[in-house]
Amino acid sequence: MSRPDFDGSDYVRAYDVVRLTNQLEKIVEVMSDEGWYTHGEIEDATGAPGASVGAQLANLRKKRYGAYPVPKRLRGAREDGLWEYSLGEQGSHTPRKPAVLLRAEAAERFADELADALEEVRPGHPLLEAWDAHRHT
pLDDT digits (tens, 9 = 90+) for 92-107: 666 665 666 667 777 8
Whether 22 has a pLDDT exceeding 80, the answer reads yes
Regarding whether 110 and 74 lie in a shared domain, the answer is no
Domain extent, residue 34, equals 13-85
- What does pTM read for this prediction? 0.64
| pLDDT digits 0-9 by tens, 28-61 | 999 999 899 999 999 999 999 999 999 999 999 9
- The pLDDT score that the predictor gives to residue 47 is 96
The sign one gets for the Cα dihedral 84, 89, 91, 96 is: negative
CATH number at residue 54: 1.10.10
Q: Is 69 exposed, middle or buried (0-12, 13-18, 19+ CB in 10 A)?
A: middle
Question: In this structure, is residue 93 part of a structural domain?
Answer: no
Regarding whether 37 and 71 lie in a shared domain, the answer is yes
